[in-house]
Structure 1
Amino acid sequence: MLDIVIEARKASLAPGMDVRRILPFRQRRMVGPFIFMDHAGPVDVQPPLVTNMDVLPHPHIGLSTVSYLFGGQVMHRDSLGVEQIIRPGEVNWMTAGSGIAHSERFEDPAALAGGNLEMIQTWVALPEKDEEAAPAFDNYKPEQLPIFTEAGVWMRLIAGDAYGLRNGVKTHSPLFYLHVVLEQGARFGLPKEHSERGIYVVKGSVEVSGRTYTIGQMLVFSKGVDPIILAKEPSTLMMLGGEPLGERFIWWNFVSSRKERIEQAKADWKEGRILLPPTDNHEFVPLPEDKSRPAGSPSPQALS
């Protein structure tokens, strides 16, 4: 049996940049350590509007952001001085830890032509012992990520371990994250190593236990439930999950096991104690007005 089916909600980040927001969900805050998931695109905007889509410098604590593109490209800059063009099939893993600021800019209009830009961004909460770790950023090329194929199934391991696959992407807790492409009629099962498992339908549709699920839906399963997934048509899925970390609070771009730490992060950003990217420090996203939103509630903001 399914634990829950999560229906993505529309969120608007900027003119021309609407996303499907999957996590957090009011009835399911996390899947394993994954606490946030946005699906952006395909995006098709006119060149004059491209700069309006830029995500200005903004802060994070207590999490890792994971950016994964299907098409287009994004320029990442952060307060460590990293400048990285994010391209399709790469894994871009930024650990905020004690605090980092970064921007995401769309500086190549050609990368957006014809609705080419499409990306998934997730946030992975950190274990309590790592919440104040030093910030870090790592880029992993497609050739560093193992691929598995069998009849009608192609999958790339983004991070963690599943189906006997492992890679060198640095993680902080047991998890798995996969990009899966299915031909029509293909069948496969969930990885059995992890307590919590989710399937998000990026394209196409799949059948599970006689019911069909389509783009924008996430299916969440507990350990011990091992359904067969059948592709009703050519389909793309993101599969993720792992071991739960315990309660986490989320406010705007901050995640922590402690409410008071989020309050400190608010003050740190407001007072300029979280540094801006050295090559992108002329503008930034101000701290949103806190209209008594509890620290455990999701903010409507942020791709990352």
Structure 2
Amino acid sequence: MLDSVIDARPASIGNGFNVRRILPYRLRRMLGPFIFMDHAGPVSLGPGQLTNMDVLPHPHIGLSTVSYLFDGQVTHRDSLGVEQIIRPGEVNWMTAGRGIAHSERFEDPAMLANGTLEMIQTWVALPETVEENAPTFDNYLPHELPIFTDTGIWLRLIAGRAFGLQNDVKTHSPLYYAHVVLQAGTHFGLPQGYSERGAYVAKGSVEVNGHTYGVGQLLVFTNGVDPVLKANDICTLLLLGGEPLGERFIWWNFVSSRRERIEQAKADWQAGRIPLPPNDNTEFVALPEDRSKPAGSGTGTPPPQPLS
């Protein structure tokens, strides 16, 4: 029933800001089109510390970044000129396509006063037909995302289709992504109709087939089975999966179906051909030193730098 269990590993995105990294994993690079997943926080810091966690402008190609907050606020700026404060319960979907740069800064007064941050960052790989499309950014408010409730169950559909729900979040391939809160003792299943399905435990713990799984574990289920998850206590899950897209190469913040495209992206960032955000262009993250084999799935590549 369980194909694999991925334990989150500690990772640093700089300035002492540590996250739980779930994907990519050496034994499973992707789950459906999802190729990257970080869980940041919960972290409580004073104003002086919080601004040190700013993620400077950095580039992406060939993917969509998805930012989803449980708590706190982050200011997003990108090379399209978009400036967006990301708040809990919103979906912020940036499609890099042929190339975009963005920053994430912790500067909102409310965030500085509160000092608490918890967020999930995922990357969704793009089908080959749209990898080189123009970049876009969309912000979806909580009221645009359908919610399902039942005894012991609260569910918000972040993107895709699941449990008879769908929304207007623009995706490029079949997938599902949902935020679920279960009360203790509640039994819950996964969406049907997808080749690859998983459930990430963000808070609390669940029981599957008599085994208990807790915070920081991604449960990947065998295709064709219908697992039942039992909440041992109040727990928060991120359900995600979809249809695989085929092999993808990943190096730093670049994803592509073509190895040579990764090399081109490196050269483009180094030469300044990927523009910086016009309202955040005085500093940026330099291209890391390449101490790896040529970019590719399963190679020892520099870890992704940003949250998204």
* TM-score w.r.t. length of structure 2: 0.96
Q: What are the ranges of 5 or more consecutive residues in structure 2 without an aligned counterpart?
A: none
Paired residues for 1:127-138 under 5 Å: 127-138=127-138
* Deviation for aligned residue 1:203: 0.2
Counterpart residue number, 1:195: 195
Q: What are the ranges of 5 or more consecutive residues in structure 1 without an aligned counterpart?
A: none
2:72 and 2:114 in contact (8 A); partners too: no
Structure 1 consecutive aligned stretches of length 4 or more whose deviation exceeds 3 Å: 112-115
SS at match of 1:260: helix
1:303 aligned to 2:307? yes
Matched pairs, number: 304
Deviation larger for 212-221 or 222-231: 222-231
Distance of aligned partners of 1:268 and 1:63 in 2 relative to their CA distance in 1, 3 Å threshold: same
Paired residues for 1:145-156 under 5 Å: 145-156=145-156
1:41 and 1:115 in contact (8 A); partners too: no
Q: Give the Cα–Cα distance (whole angstroms) in 2 for the partners of residues 141 and 60 of structure 1.
A: 24
Q: Give the Cα–Cα distance (whole angstroms) in 2 for the partners of residues 143 and 117 of structure 1.
A: 22
SS at match of 2:302: coil
Counterpart residue number, 2:92: 92
2:47 and 2:115 in contact (8 A); partners too: no
* Deviation for aligned residue 1:16: 4.4
Counterpart residue number, 2:168: 168
1:232 aligned to 2:236? no
Q: Give the Cα–Cα distance (whole angstroms) in 2 for the partners of residues 152 and 113 of structure 1.
A: 33
* Amino acid across the alignment from 1:27: L
Paired residues for 1:44-83 under 5 Å: 44-83=44-83
Aligned CA-pair RMSD: 1.1
Deviation larger for 229-238 or 10-19: 10-19
Q: Give the Cα–Cα distance (whole angstroms) in 2 for the partners of residues 15 and 181 of structure 1.
A: 32
Q: Give the Cα–Cα distance (whole angstroms) in 2 for the partners of residues 177 and 227 of structure 1.
A: 17
* Amino acid across the alignment from 1:299: P
* Amino acid across the alignment from 1:105: R
2:45 and 2:116 in contact (8 A); partners too: no
Counterpart residue number, 1:255: 255
2:292 and 2:302 in contact (8 A); partners too: no
Tell me the alpha carbon deviations over residues 203-242 of structure 1, each in whole angstroms, 9 at most, x when there is no partner. 0000001000000000001321111100000000000000
Q: Give the Cα–Cα distance (whole angstroms) in 1 for the partners of residues 293 and 282 of structure 2.
A: 29
Counterpart residue number, 2:205: 205
